[in-house]
Structure 1
Amino acid sequence: MKATLRIESLVHGGEGLARHEGRVVFVRGGAPGDLVEAELQGGSARFERTRALRVLEPGAAHVAAPCPIVDRCGGCPVQHVDSGAQLAAKSALTADALERIGGVAPGTYQLLPISPSPKKFRYRRRARLHRGKGGTWGFKGDEGVVAVEECLLFEEPLQKLADALRGEDLPGVMDLGLDTSASGKGAVDLRTPGPPSPALRKRARQLLAGLVKGVTLGSEIAGDPVLIDDHPGFRLRSRPDVFSQANRSMVPALQSAALAALGEAVSGRILELFCGSGTLTLPLLLRAQSVIGVESAGPSLQLLRRSADEIAGAAGKLRLVAGDAAEALPGLLGPFDAALLDPPRTGAAEAVRALAKHGIPRIAYVSCDAPTLARDAKLLRDAGYQLVSAHPLDLFPQTAHFEVVAAFVRVSGAWRGTS
């Protein structure tokens, strides 16, 4: 049946929240304040999901989405929402997750103003494309891979790299990772379901011209896939086959927020988990007495070591440990003045439990998923830690994603083994 719904707010994932006859309805394509028409299935479930068929009355937050494939691609579910409303929603969702899921009492912590991205579009320096029908490249939508000729989130160098590779014959490649430096050079990661064929190895070497300076192909490398961005006091390296932040323009803000969350302990002995290739480690080395960094990805550690060795006065400050964060912790001897962690979207429950057993006085937690941050915040609360502040940062305008930097201090008690 068709129903008329008023969108109240945005929820995690970018859908609009509405209500119909006592049931919650999550509506894709609705902005706060919109009156929309949608198809409902009904039934006894407490909620259902649907898509707005049309907007009957646009709310104040509704804007025209400039991307022609936004409804099919699925990568920018809030592109039809005004930038200010996007920021307000992400700030509210930070508090909602910490208080509703994490059990943090309202008013007991400081929710800092959300940091906006200086770029609303054209901010991505890297992306991963998937092979679709007919050899096209695109993003995974609701109905499979949606071919993408132009992405409005791509920086100009990334768009040029994607354009240059679109017609290339890459036999067996199903996923195509693209990365670019601020200077415009690019590197490519080719992924296949099985071992790469001799034809693909040859083709990878042939790509080393023009915009492409290096290719990663499983454990094999052609050219030099390492890209470098200059920052005050250090150089940050990346490769297309390992994680790095996609929004180059927001990296300084993320670094500043993470260091601020460490408080006065930033000049002391720091334990960093999930250190990656050094986005947060390198600025930390300019201030800390010592840093122990733990990371499971070997190539990331290699990039970090190369960058750290270039920093004047940092010799001997950094020790790197390869391995799983939770498994490595018992063997790391402190004392530490603070810990910094930046886990993947799934969070760091086991690492948080191990950290709590160490009794580290202060923890700065950088999260790209507010609900899993809230889950881990509850673990820390049960272990005697208090949330001091939460700082949301909009690293991903037009999408449902954002970062949160949370600061915790140990206030009392010992680990009670909460599962």
Structure 2
Amino acid sequence: MITEHEILRLGHQGDGVALGPVYAPATLPGETVRGVVSGSQLTQIRIETPSPDRVQPPCQHAKSCGGCQLQHASDAFVAQWKQDIVATALDAQGLAAPMRAIQTSAARTRRRAVVSARRTKKGAMAGFHARGSDVIVQIPDCQLVDSRLRAGLPLAEALAVAGASRKGEISVTLTVTENGLDVAVSGGKPTDGPLEATLAQLAERFGVARLAWEGEVIAMRQPPVQGFGTAKVTPPPGAFLQATPEGEAALLAGVREIVGNAARIVDLFSGCGTFSLPLAEQAEVFALEGDAGMIRALDHGWRQAQGLKKVTGIARDLFRRPLVPQELAGFDAAVLDPPRAGAEAQVAALAESSLERIAYVSCNPVTFARDARVLVDAGYHLAWVQVVDQFRWSSHIELVAAFSRTAGQETGGSAQM
């Protein structure tokens, strides 16, 4: 039965929410829509009264592809919505902070993406999944990713023909590097001699920098280098990387401002050195990361660079073994960039430390707000927050925030309500 609904707000996944709650994808607050309710989802949606914030999606794949959730909304609306998500998460913890202007990456600048590929009767297809489905949508005119990354889609199809099971699909991580695409595949067949030979031929044919299959490097024509400041780093296959160069630069600028003239910095969840290596231009850095391969890449990049201060890289699981206050003594500032789960144990230790400044980079406003509450309760001041939107047209939110033991320092003032 077709029923009418008024969209009240957007949920955290970017769906419109009506009374019920009923979730309606590709709708906006204030719109009147009609559709068929299936469980908690509204399907067969027709917009009766459109929002003034509704725009024509810039990508021809918007209706079928699940890679973006918010192409139907104006840039101004999306920016404010993402700012409000962060402010609401802080408010739920009894906190507030000055919100700096959002930094949004331009279209076609995503340098890393995971595409799916599967064999078909006539060959193979590669792209993103349709919304809420395992159906693969081809994306030849994707407005999200760097054109060099989009050029890797034919390779993903060739890899599926070579090494995907007949009924399964492979995940292909494509990353733009200084020397070409870095390609990491998971979900494929076990390798043997003939498959490895075929994969090596594909790497040569498509001119990729490196091709890895289930974590094993099959071919490397050139090191897939990423520049972190003046250092050149070759990350492990499939390693984490900030999604866009603009986004990384915005986060780094915020981190630099927060740590200021600190002479000794501890970088927690350092990855391959996104922040550690640029910060080493001015300070000694102690970098910790759970993945030993990332630490080796960071260390090699530092040793090959010129003019950097000492960087000490340690592989350590900070969830199980956070740095305790005694180990944090002697540092002037900390950089914290945890995964989506946040850094509950490490933040508890930071709260007991005497560190003066903390730069917190987060990809989850909810866990960030939880951790911020602990720091504020321990006497830190949340001076400001800046949202950095690297995942344009998606519901994903990243931010950098400044904490200081002393209100009114260059990081700003108090955030406690």
Corresponding position: 1:139 with 2:128: yes
Corresponding position: 1:167 with 2:155: no
| Residue 64 of structure 1, CA deviation | 1.6
What is the aligned partner in structure 2 of residue 73 from structure 1?
65
Aligned-partner Cα distance in 2 for 1:197–1:371: 45
Q: 1:356 aligns with which of 351, 359, 364?
A: 351
**Normalising by structure 2, what TM-score?**
0.85
Aligned-partner Cα distance in 1 for 2:201–2:149: 19
Judged with a 3 Å threshold, the aligned counterparts in structure 2 of structure 1 residues 163 and 132 are, in CA distance, closer, same or farther, namely closer
Listed as ranges, the matches of 1:9-28 within 5 Å are 9-18=9-18, 20=19, 23-28=20-25
**Normalising by structure 1, what TM-score?**
0.85
Residues 191-241 of structure 1 deviation map (CA, whole Å, 9 limit, x = unaligned): 236743333322222123243121122343221564224465343544541
What is the aligned partner in structure 1 of residue 101 from structure 2?
113
| Letter paired with 1:181 | T
Residues 229-267 of structure 1 deviation map (CA, whole Å, 9 limit, x = unaligned): 4465343544541110121232211210122233x3x42
| Unpaired segments ≥5 residues, structure 2 | 408-417
Corresponding position: 1:296 with 2:290: yes
| Letter paired with 2:101 | P
| Letter paired with 2:313 | L
Judged with a 3 Å threshold, the aligned counterparts in structure 2 of structure 1 residues 66 and 110 are, in CA distance, closer, same or farther, namely closer
Listed as ranges, the matches of 1:255-334 within 5 Å are 255-262=252-259, 264=260, 266-288=261-283, 290-315=284-309, 317-326=310-319, 327-330=321-324, 332=327, 334=329
Corresponding position: 1:129 with 2:120: no
Range moving further from structure 2, 332-341 or 3-12: 3-12
Q: Is the 8 A contact 2:156 2:172 kept in 1?
A: no
Aligned-partner Cα distance in 2 for 1:379–1:72: 42
Q: Is the 8 A contact 1:33 1:60 kept in 2?
A: no
Q: Is the 8 A contact 2:111 2:176 kept in 1?
A: yes
Residues 84-140 of structure 1 deviation map (CA, whole Å, 9 limit, x = unaligned): 11111111111111112x321x4xx221111122x1x21111211223463433334
Aligned-partner Cα distance in 2 for 1:35–1:189: 44
Equivalent position SS for 2:334: strand
Aligned-partner Cα distance in 1 for 2:377–2:233: 37
What is the aligned partner in structure 1 of residue 251 from structure 2?
254
Listed as ranges, the matches of 1:32-111 within 5 Å are 32-40=29-37, 48-51=40-43, 53-100=45-92, 102-104=93-95, 106=96, 109-111=97-99
Aligned-partner Cα distance in 1 for 2:191–2:348: 40
What is the aligned partner in structure 1 of residue 413 from structure 2?
none
Aligned-partner Cα distance in 1 for 2:65–2:228: 34
| Letter paired with 1:139 | F
Listed as ranges, the matches of 1:334-413 within 5 Å are 334-410=329-405
| Letter paired with 1:201 | E
Aligned-partner Cα distance in 1 for 2:371–2:207: 42
Equivalent position SS for 1:267: coil
Equivalent position SS for 1:37: strand
Aligned-partner Cα distance in 1 for 2:233–2:44: 43
Q: Is the 8 A contact 2:126 2:156 kept in 1?
A: no
Aligned-partner Cα distance in 2 for 1:274–1:225: 27
Aligned-partner Cα distance in 1 for 2:361–2:192: 40
| Unpaired segments ≥5 residues, structure 1 | 43-47, 413-419
Aligned-partner Cα distance in 1 for 2:132–2:37: 18
Corresponding position: 1:211 with 2:200: no
Judged with a 3 Å threshold, the aligned counterparts in structure 2 of structure 1 residues 186 and 90 are, in CA distance, closer, same or farther, namely same
Identity %: 30
Judged with a 3 Å threshold, the aligned counterparts in structure 2 of structure 1 residues 233 and 133 are, in CA distance, closer, same or farther, namely closer
Q: Is the 8 A contact 1:216 1:225 kept in 2?
A: no
Equivalent position SS for 1:127: strand
Kindly tell me the number of residue pairs found equivalent between the two proteins: 393
Q: Is the 8 A contact 1:282 1:308 kept in 2?
A: yes
| Residue 24 of structure 1, CA deviation | 4.2
What is the aligned partner in structure 2 of residue 148 from structure 1?
138
Aligned-partner Cα distance in 2 for 1:397–1:8: 23
Aligned-partner Cα distance in 1 for 2:42–2:374: 34
Q: 1:181 aligns with which of 177, 185, 193?
A: 177
Residues 297-334 of structure 1 deviation map (CA, whole Å, 9 limit, x = unaligned): 2222222122222433325x211110212415148453
Equivalent position SS for 1:406: strand
Equivalent position SS for 2:203: coil
Residues 322-371 of structure 1 deviation map (CA, whole Å, 9 limit, x = unaligned): 02124151484532111111111222212212322334222211011111
Range moving further from structure 2, 227-236 or 52-61: 227-236
| Letter paired with 1:12 | H
| Residue 282 of structure 1, CA deviation | 1.7
Aligned-partner Cα distance in 2 for 1:71–1:329: 47
Q: Is the 8 A contact 1:132 1:147 kept in 2?
A: no
- The alignment yields a C-alpha RMSD, in angstroms, of 2.6
